[in-house]
Structure 1
Amino acid sequence: MTSPEAAGAGTGDGRGSVQEDVQGQVSLPRTQSGSQPQNLLMTLLGDYWHGRTEHVPSAALVALLEEFGISPFAARAALSRLTRRGVLESSRTGRRTHYRLSTQPSAAAALDQGMRRITSFATASRPWDGTWRVVIFSVPEERRDVRHAARGRLRWLGFAPLYDGVWICPHDREAEAVGALASLGVRQYTSMTAQVPPSSPQGLAPIEAWDLARLRARYDEFVTTWEAMLERVRGGALREDEALPVRTELMYSWLYFPSLDPELPAELLPADWPRARAYEVFAELYDALGPLAESRVRGIIARFAPELAPLVRYHPHQGP
């Protein structure tokens, strides 16, 4: 993650945070494409060390990040910062330091939620009852950081702004949205449900809160890019040392969609909507790369802690 982000959280590009800072909870790093060390390390641990409580030698984690071009200095700085944030826990054996994912319930829950959201997205279509969930909130100008965090959290929950301060979602996530706003200290908010009769006059249809043309283009781009890689994998043309960075980048590419598209109901979309095809490509490629990437991670861990190497397991996508 996990979950674990593009700097556009809450700016309308849909790349909101997997887990914003929440009062009284562990502060997880934001997810972004590329090689940001803290996020990358959390992604790798969430994917290949999911559910494990054993401590991993720091040297092994540094070597793992080196696979992505992260310097040892930057890797150790990331370990230190994640430990201070409560995301990692450290232990020492002699002069050697070891780390594991935090056992705090809030940290484990955030990681599990992020991974589940990414790997289960678009796995099934659900009938829609025509009900919109509406959240209206206001944050004073002097609390812009809170407003930014609130927008990012709402996007991650599947909401989009119909008007300034009026956010809507086609799924029953009203309670989660209200809880997120309250946890961020937003005091002025209300929520409601709404249905829009097809024949009623209106200025802006709720579905227009999402830029469907731009969203289609993102799906089409994803399919074009990753279908070519899928053909390579099917043909056995991808080496083990390539599989780990490719699978990680695939996850980052797929990560954008849960915030861009809250699995908008089929009733509101064109018949040829590309989400299903994008999911097919992601699911097959993500799982096909899993064994190769797992083997690479095992080999790196084995260099520093042979007894831990057999515990490495890749996290599969969650099918229907």
Structure 2
Amino acid sequence: MFCFSDVWMKELKRRLIFVLASDVNPEETLEAFAYWSYPQLYWRVGGPAYRQAGFAPVSVRGAVNGLVKSGEVARIVRDSQPRFRLTVVGRDRWWQWFAGSGAKGRWNKVWQMVMLHRGVLPQVDLRRLRLLLEEFGFVALEVGVFVAPGVETREVKRRLMDENLARAVIMVETKRFTVGDDRAFAAATWKLDELVGRYKKLISRGEGLLNEVIRQKKLTDGDKLAYNSINLEWMKLLLGVPRLPYKLLPSDWPHLETVGLMVKLANAVRELEEEGMASNT
């Protein structure tokens, strides 16, 4: 049975995992995650930029406790205050949700296509099929036709069988474009030029705030609001970025540049925040 509160809590947990990994590059780092206090988490997921979601401190604590129970977050106590960090299990969850495009460094130039072949699926089953295939990086070319490069076909087949959807589709592989080329096809299908534009706008905003934070002696509420806004846009961008092989990306693909900038910004904000916390003790 659908429950809105379950969806709401899942979104809160996803944002917490994103925040807990924000000051490192999880694509390169296994166990360098720092510990965070409740006050540091409250404003990052419950501040003005998230006001519509209504993530109150009590909800944040409930979500953190759930992540501790699932093994995705570790808990310690220092100076009578609990602190939390992402575990390797939590990093794997981050990877599942946020791993950026270009994660597939090697590619054998094989494309996979999934097509409906037995009549018309009910709308609810078609939606299940679309969501399942999107997990593997497929994109819909039209209703009932999906394509992706370099997918692990055995895993896709297993999931289709588990969901009782294999009976309704066929999956084919090809290495050859007889007309056109694969990079142009990828750029048009995944709208990569638009994504580059979004990356560059985020870089511009992030660099501006980073310069401000470096010059300041105290983290203001305005800084927190600006940081939350930028960080939320970064999370949304990562959730929508396709996991394509490097060979299919534009030569100016700015993903790694953006990752480096956002890690610097997260650390600068945290350092200024902790300096203020230390001066108040």
Which TM-score bucket, shorter chain as reference? Answer: 0.5 to 0.7
Question: In structure 2, how many angstroms separate the alpha carbons of the residues matched to 1:57 and 1:154?
Answer: 37
Q: 1:65 to 1:298 in 2, by over 3 A?
A: farther
Q: Which of these residues, 219, 232, 237, is aligned with residue 208 of structure 2? A: 232
Residue 58 of structure 1 contacts residue 99 of structure 1 at CA under 8 Å; is this kept in 2? yes
Structure with the largest fraction of helix: 2
Alpha-carbon spacing, 1:194–1:73, altered in 2? closer, same or farther (3 Å): closer
Residue 66 of structure 1: how far off its partner (Å): 4.4
- Partner-residue secondary structure (3-state), 1:122: coil
Asked if residue 109 in structure 1 is aligned to residue 131 in structure 2, the reply is no
Separation in structure 2 between the aligned mates of residue 162 and residue 132 of structure 1, nearest angstrom: 13
Q: Is the 8 A contact 1:91 1:99 kept in 2?
A: yes
Q: Is the 8 A contact 1:64 1:297 kept in 2?
A: no
Q: Encode CA deviations 1:64-95: one digit per residue, 9 max, x unaligned.
A: 434445578623224325645865779899xx
The range that moved more, 282-291 or 80-89, is 80-89
Task: Say which SS state the counterpart of residue 241 (structure 2) adopts.
Answer: helix
Matched, 1:292 2:268: yes
1:76 maps to 2:55: no
Report percent identity of matched pairs: 12
Are the structure 2 counterparts of residues 110 and 179 from structure 1 closer, same or farther at C-alpha, using a change threshold of 3 Å?
Answer: farther
Q: Does 1:157 align with 2:132?
A: no
Query: Given the superposition, is the C-alpha separation of residues 60 and 303 from structure 1 closer, same or farther in structure 2, using an over 3 Å criterion?
Result: farther
In structure 2, the partner of 1:177 is: 156
Instruction: Tell me how far 1:195 sits from its aligned partner.
Output: 3.4
What runs of 5+ residues in structure 2 fail to find an aligned partner? 1-6
Q: How many residues align?
A: 252
Residues 158 and 258 in structure 1, CA contact (< 8 A), matched pair in contact too = no
Please identify, of 183-192 and 48-57, the stretch whose mean Cα deviation from structure 2 is larger: 48-57
Paired with 2:140 and 2:38, the residues of 1 have a C-alpha distance of 43
Q: Is it true that 1:40 corresponds to 2:15 in the alignment?
A: yes
**Structure 1 residues 153, 82: CA separation in 2 closer, same or farther (over 3 Å shift)?**
farther
Task: Tell me the SS of whatever aligns to 2:212.
Answer: coil
**What TM-score do the two structures reach when normalised by structure 1?**
0.55
Q: In 2, distance between residues paired with 1:168 and 1:213?
A: 11
Q: 1:7 corresponds to which residue?
A: none
- Determine the C-alpha separation between the residues in 2 that align with 1:136 and 1:214: 22
1: distance between equivalents of 2:91 and 2:198? 33
In the alignment, is the contact (CA less than 8 A) between 2:42 and 2:60 conserved in 1? no
> What is the 5 A alignment of 1:1-320?
29-30=10-11, 37-48=12-23, 51=31, 58=38, 61-68=41-48, 74-81=56-63, 83=65, 87=70, 98=82, 100=84, 105=89, 109-115=92-98, 117-118=99-100, 121-122=101-102, 129-136=108-115, 140-141=121-122, 144=124, 147-184=126-163, 186-188=165-167, 189-198=169-178, 211-212=188-189, 214-223=191-200, 225-229=201-205, 232=208, 236-238=211-213, 242=223, 244-245=227-228, 248-249=231-232, 251-259=234-242, 262-263=244-245, 265-266=247-248, 273=250, 276-279=252-255, 281-296=257-272, 298=274
Q: For 2:234 and 2:108, how far apart are their aligned partners in 1? A: 31
Q: Calculate the TM-score normalised by the size of structure 2.
A: 0.61
- 1-structure distance, mates of 2:76, 2:256: 44
Distance 2:57 2:189 in 1: 39
**Structure 1: 5+ residue runs without aligned partners?**
1-20, 22-26, 31-36, 307-320
Partners of 2:261 and 2:74 lie apart in 1 by 34
